[in-house]
């Protein structure tokens, strides 16, 4: 049985994961409209993964006799300056999510809910992988310096990652 404080922070994380899914969906749409089809496919797949993260928390809350709440839908922005701006924002977003997961684990320890702290280790690991993936993507983009031919090749690489199911370092669920 979840205590109410842990239930509340888990529901907050459900909201963040759902927002992540929406954010990647908006970015995928921008990429598709702007000719970055490889990135678009990668981001659409990643949006689905984020929904998967949300659902994993959702079922956990209900399985532990809590009540998983569907959060209101927050609209992410739909315009970006460049594909680089998209990946920069992703990297910042994932760092924020990692910090929220760490806070969540902290609350579990404060409340002596070691079962939930243990369950959340999957998210801790996932965040390490996501940050590492997007840091690598950004490093690559920075090296290209806006060269159009190289950006085209970069986009093909993102397509390959999407096709290989490697939208995070590990393919989970």
Question: For ligand OFO, which is the closer residue by CB, 92 or 147?
Answer: 92
Shortest distance in whole angstroms from residue 5 CB to ligand OFO: 22
- Interface contacts to ligand OFO, rule CB under 6 A: 17, 20, 50, 53, 94, 97, 126, 130
Q: Distance between CA 130 and CA 136 in Å, rounded?
A: 10
Q: How far, CA to CA in Å, does 125 sit from each of 5, 65, 168?
A: 23, 25, 11
Q: What is residue 47's three-state secondary structure?
A: helix
Instruction: Work out the end-to-end distance of the chain between its first and last CA atoms, rounded to an integer number of angstroms.
Output: 24
Question: For ligand OFO, which is the closer residue by CB, 21 or 41?
Answer: 21
Shortest distance in whole angstroms from residue 146 CB to ligand OFO: 27
User: How many other CB atoms are there within 10 angstroms of residue 55's CB atom?
Assistant: 16
Question: For ligand OFO, which is the closer residue by CB, 2 or 43?
Answer: 43
> Burial of 146 by CB count in 10 Å (0-12 exposed, 13-18 middle, 19+ buried)?
exposed
Shortest distance in whole angstroms from residue 111 CB to ligand OFO: 22
Are 91 and 97 in contact by the 8 Å Cβ rule? The answer is no
Shortest distance in whole angstroms from residue 19 CB to ligand OFO: 9
Question: For ligand OFO, which is the closer residue by CB, 3 or 169?
Answer: 169
């Amino acid at each position: 049985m979840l205590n109410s404080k842990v239930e509340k922070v888990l529901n907050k994380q459900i909201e963040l994961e759902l927002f992540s899914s929406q954010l990647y969906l908006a970015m995928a749409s921008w990429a598709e409209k702007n000719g970055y089809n490889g990135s678009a496919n990668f981001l659409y797949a990643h949006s689905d993964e984020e929904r998967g993260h949300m659902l994993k928390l959702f079922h956990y809350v209900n399985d532990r006799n809590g009540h998983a709440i569907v959060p209101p839908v927050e609209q992410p922005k739909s315009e970006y300056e460049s594909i680089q701006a998209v990946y920069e924002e992703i990297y910042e977003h994932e760092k924020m999510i990692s910090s929220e997961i760490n806070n969540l684990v902290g609350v579990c320890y404060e409340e002596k809910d070691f079962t939930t702290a243990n369950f959340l280790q999957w998210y801790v690991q996932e965040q390490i992988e996501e940050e590492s993936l997007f840091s690598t993507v950004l490093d690559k983009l920075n090296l290209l310096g806006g060269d159009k031919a190289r950006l085209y090749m970069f986009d093909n690489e993102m397509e390959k990652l999407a096709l290989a199911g490697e939208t995070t370092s590990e393919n989970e669920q």
